[in-house]
Amino acid sequence: MSIAITGATGKLGTLILSHLLDHIPARDIIACARNPQAMNAYQERGVAIRFCDYDQAASLAHAFQGVSQLLLISSPILDNAARLQQHSQVIAAAKQASVSHILYTGFAFPTPGASSLADLHLATEQAILDTGIPFTFLRNALYIDFVGSLPLHSAVANGCLTVPPGDWRFNAVSRADLAKGIAAVLAEPKKHLNKTYELTASHPWTFQDLTAALSELSGKPLVLQENPDIQSWLYGFLRQINTSSVSRDLEQLLGHPTTVLKESIRPFL
């Protein structure tokens, strides 16, 4: 068995690679990256490092030679049309290389037409289905990192977290939990053929829950306040995606509940 991970130098890719090494021998892992030099530490552990650029078809064809399972980590660029083109090149190269199983990190609970992001991930999944190659769709919920765009430090300083009105509920989860769950799938790929997983927090949480967690971590009393005048790209984006639906898929892959909110946000304080 040979498992290739694209985007291996990214935040999620690096975490997946680290956890995967706890499950299978390094000789069975190929880390594909645009900057192979950044992977020297893993090469020293026995992981094969190959140059891989989503925009260079020739690099993809070479990187996927002899690969059985391929984890395609979604491109990080913001132009969704360009991202789909990149994903399509990866998928075509995987088919050409006779990869026997494609795993893809999409987005949880995508609704067709709801946003260009949802359409991108659904189109990528369809492109994989069209190859006829066995698949596993790993639909990641919103990263907990989004709380870093909220005024957490000023909220602690002022004793008040201010947000727009609304029934805000979140299924956001840490990259660490996602990486552990995805590594568990990669370690036993045959168990997960042709399955789709919605990888979310075990339970949804609210801004009130976030306020309480901030109070606990800071040791200061905080209140939540709604302000209809708040203008931010973040809330517009959050309204376009499904942030509230949850699944126990990730919990089952981990063998335990996902990290609680207070611990998930600790790094952002």
Per-residue pLDDT tens listing for the chain (269 residues): 699 999 999 999 999 999 999 999 999 999 999 999 999 999 999 999 999 999 999 999 999 999 999 999 999 998 999 999 999 999 999 999 999 999 999 999 999 988 899 999 999 999 999 999 999 999 999 999 999 999 999 999 999 999 999 999 999 999 999 999 999 999 999 999 999 999 999 999 999 999 999 999 999 999 999 999 998 999 999 999 999 999 999 999 999 999 999 999 999 98
Cβ-based neighbours of 167, under 8 Å, separated by 6 or more: none
Q: Look at residue 196 in the predicted model and tell me its pLDDT.
A: 98
Q: Look at residue 187 in the predicted model and tell me its pLDDT.
A: 96
Cα torsion 161, 165, 168, 174: sign: negative
Cβ-based neighbours of 128, under 8 Å, separated by 6 or more: 91, 102, 104, 135, 137
| CB-based burial label for 262 (10 Å; 0-12, 13-18, 19+) | middle
* Backbone angles phi and psi of 225, in degrees to 5: -130, 135
Tokens 């919920």 sit on residue: 141
* Backbone angles phi and psi of 67, in degrees to 5: -85, 130
Tokens (6 digits) for 234? 């973040």
Q: Look at residue 254 in the predicted model and tell me its pLDDT.
A: 97
Calculate ∠ Cα 62-41-52, nearest 5°: 20
Cβ-based neighbours of 11, under 8 Å, separated by 6 or more: 175
> Measuring CA to CA, which residue among 17, 24, 18, 35 is closest to residue 2?
24
Cβ-based neighbours of 25, under 8 Å, separated by 6 or more: 46
Q: Look at residue 114 in the predicted model and tell me its pLDDT.
A: 84
* Backbone angles phi and psi of 104, in degrees to 5: -135, 135
Tell me how far apart the alpha carbons of residues 268 and 123 are, in angstroms, rounded to a whole number.
Answer: 33
> Measuring CA to CA, which residue among 168, 164, 144 is closest to residue 244?
168
Cα torsion 137, 6, 254, 257: sign: negative
Tally Cβ neighbours within 10 Å of residue 7. Answer: 24
Report whether 138 contacts 189 (CB < 8 A). no
Q: Look at residue 269 in the predicted model and tell me its pLDDT.
A: 87
